[in-house]
Amino acid sequence: MNTLNKLFLDGLAEIYDAESRLVWSMPQMATAATCPLLREAILSHLQETKAHVTRLETLFQSLGERARRKTSEATIALVNESHEIMSRFRGFPVVNAALIAAVQKIEHYEIASYGCLRDWAVVLRNKEAAAILQEILDENKTTNQSLTELARSRSNQQALSEHACVSEPTTAVFCQTAACA
C-alpha cells in the first residue's frame, strides 16, 4: 500500500470520527437555538450527518476495510467551543448568531477535509470514492451557505437585542421578544 493510500484511509477514519461525534452534539445545539429556523436547519443537517456516517461506512466496505475511527482532535475542540458558547449565551437572542458561527466552523473543517479526500481519491483513481466524497462535500457546502444566509437575514440583527428569552417547561427554549418572532 502506498503512503497516499494510508493518508487517505487515515483521513477517512478521522472524518468518520468527526461525523460520529457530531451526531451526538448537534441535538444539543438545536435545543440551545432560540430561532425556530436555526433549530430546523441544525436538525435537518443532523439527518444528513447521520447519512454521511452510513455513506462513509459503505465507502470503507467498498475499499475492503473495516470502518474505523481516528480521533479528530479538531472536532473535539470545535464541539467544546460550541458547548462554551451555549452555556455563555443560553436563552439570549445572541445565542443564534453564536451557534451559527460554531456550526460554520465545524462545516468549514468538514469542507476542507472532504475536499482533500475527494482530490486524493481522484489521484488514487478511485472514481466511486471521489463521487461519494463529492456528494458529502456538496451537502456540507449547502449547509454552510444556508447558515450564512440565515445569519445575514435574521440572526445577526436579532443578536443586537439584549432581551433574555424564557424557558418553557419543555426542553425547547422560545424567545418572546419581537426580534425572534
Shorter beta-carbon distance to Fe ion: residue 31 or 48: 48
Please tell me the distance from the alpha carbon of residue 166 to that of residue 74, in angstroms, as a whole number: 33
Which set of grid coordinates corresponds to residue 32? Answer: 440551545
Q: Name the one range near Fe ion by CB under 5 A: 1-9, 56-64, 107-115, 169-177.
A: 107-115
Q: Name the one range near Fe ion by CB under 5 A: 78-86, 106-114, 146-154, 167-175.
A: 106-114
Q: How far is the CB of 10 from Fe ion (least distance, A)?
A: 20
Which H or E run contains 176?
A: none
Shorter beta-carbon distance to Fe ion: residue 126 or 140: 140
The CA–CA distances, whole Å, from 72 to 17, 82, 88, 151 equal: 6, 16, 25, 27
Which set of grid coordinates corresponds to residue 36? Answer: 425556530
- Residues in CB range of 93: below 8 A, 6 or more apart: 34, 158, 159, 161, 163, 165, 175, 177, 179, 180
Q: Name the one range near Fe ion by CB under 5 A: 27-35, 84-92, 103-111, 125-133.
A: 103-111
The 121-150 site mask, x for binding Fe ion (CB under 5 A), equals -------------------x----------
Residues that bind Fe ion (CB under 5 A): 110, 140
